[in-house]
Amino acid sequence: MEYYDFLKENYKEVIPICIFIATTTWGVAYFIFKNQLNTKSSTIENLNTKNLTLKEELENLKNSNDQSSLQINYEYPKIDFNGKNILCNSIRTVKKSDPLSVSAIVPKGKTLSVEITGPKSLCKGDTGASWGFSNSTNWSLDDYHKENGGRQMIEAHEGIAKSKFHALRDGQFTITVFEGQECWTKGLLVNN
């Protein structure tokens, strides 16, 4: 009751103080809110700018990937963990005892076919194969045909294809590689 009487007697002084406190509180709250709003607004603008930049970079990257996927690059490493790669164009002479491989990296969406023909047998009773494969990965092997020294087709699909290659006879091998519509041939001399 005492406070009520005090306010009733001094209302002319209390009302301006209450108005002052209310407007000051509102002003401070407005200032803080406005400052937070401006900060959030600038943060949103920065994020939008970064988003546009990232979208442009992604689009450029997609375009460069589209262009690079149009390029057909078959790769034939000179050597892998199985041995010297007989598909590598620089390997022309090997020893029968050398560890050998048939290795290729085939581009996405492409296939690789290889025809191997071998040296003819030296005597009439020699009916063995001129070569063999083991530990093949991503190679499909057709049947081996013994006539005229042997002939076999192998095929790989996109990705890494590898296999051990065992030269079982001395002589000249012919390797024909079909990279899609393109083809090339090389000779491989196997010595003792």
Q: How confident is the model at residue 65 (pLDDT cuts 50, 70, 90)?
A: low
pLDDT digits (tens, 9 = 90+) for 9-55: 887 887 888 888 889 999 888 888 888 888 888 888 877 887 787 77
The domain 79-191: what is its CATH number? 2.60.40
Residue 98 to residues 79, 84, 95, Cα–Cα distance (Å) = 12, 8, 5
Taking Cα atoms as reference points, which of 183, 184, 155, 179 lies closest to residue 71?
A: 179
- Dihedral, 56, 59, 65, 70 alpha carbons, nearest 10: -130
Residue 14, φ and ψ in degrees, nearest 5: -75, -40
CA R_g for the chain: 40
Residues in the chain: 192
Q: How confident is the model at residue 153 (pLDDT cuts 50, 70, 90)?
A: very high
Compute the distance between CA of residue 32 and CA of residue 130 in angstroms, rounded to an integer. Answer: 87
Name, in order, each residue with C-beta under 8 angstroms of 110's C-beta and a sequence gap of 6 or more: 72, 74, 157, 158, 179, 180
- Give me the half-sphere count of Cα atoms (radius 13 Å) on the Cβ side of residue 117: 9
Strand blocks (E) in 22-98: 79-80, 83-85, 93-95
Whole-structure pTM value: 0.61
pLDDT digits (tens, 9 = 90+) for 70-118: 546 899 999 988 899 999 999 999 998 899 999 999 999 999 999 999 8
Determine which helix (DSSP H) or strand (DSSP E) holds 21, and give its type and residue range: helix 11-70
